[in-house]
Amino acid sequence: MMLALRWVLGITLGLLAGSFLTLFLLANVFRRSFGASDINPVLALVPLLAGGVLFASLLFPGMRPLLHLAALAAIGLTGFCLWQLLAESAPVMVFGLIYLAAWFLYYWMVAWRTPNLT
């Protein structure tokens, strides 16, 4: 079950990251067509870097420091998703929150659950 969860989380993360980057780039083009300034690229790079840390924790589940760093990144991404959801009225961020809930379940299973010794 753990392997299947890692695959599902990894594939979903790739799709979400690609979709996020595509929407970010299209939003900049759309804003420029009206003469507005571009959106700060930090708003795209930081979530993508945090997603990279989450992906690394899926690839190397035995590295506990990486898991805890990924948990901090997931907390930051949760705040980012909530901010986008509430301030920018972006309901698509609900999918990010659902993904992060599944990732926190994975984190709990890998980092905090005691192994079954039988």
Can you give the pLDDT of all 118 residues of the chain as single tens digits?
788 889 999 999 999 888 888 888 887 777 777 777 767 777 778 888 998 999 999 999 889 999 999 999 999 999 988 988 898 887 888 988 999 999 999 999 988 876 654 4
pLDDT of residue 116: 58
118 is a domain residue = no
pLDDT of residue 115: 65
Domain that holds residue 103: 2-112
Residue 53 to residues 13, 27, 64, 89, Cα–Cα distance (Å):
11, 25, 13, 27
- For residue 85, what are its two tokens? 């959801």
Total structural domains in the chain?
Answer: 1
pLDDT of residue 47: 85
61 is a domain residue = yes
Torsion of CA 49, 54, 7, 3, to 10 degrees: 160
47 is a domain residue = yes
Identify whether the C-beta of residue 48 lies closer than 8 Å to the C-beta of residue 18.
Answer: no
Task: Please report, in angstroms and rounded to a whole number, the separation of the first and last CA atoms in the chain.
Answer: 17
pLDDT of residue 24: 81
Contacts of 32 (CB under 8 A, 6+ apart): 38
70 is a domain residue = yes
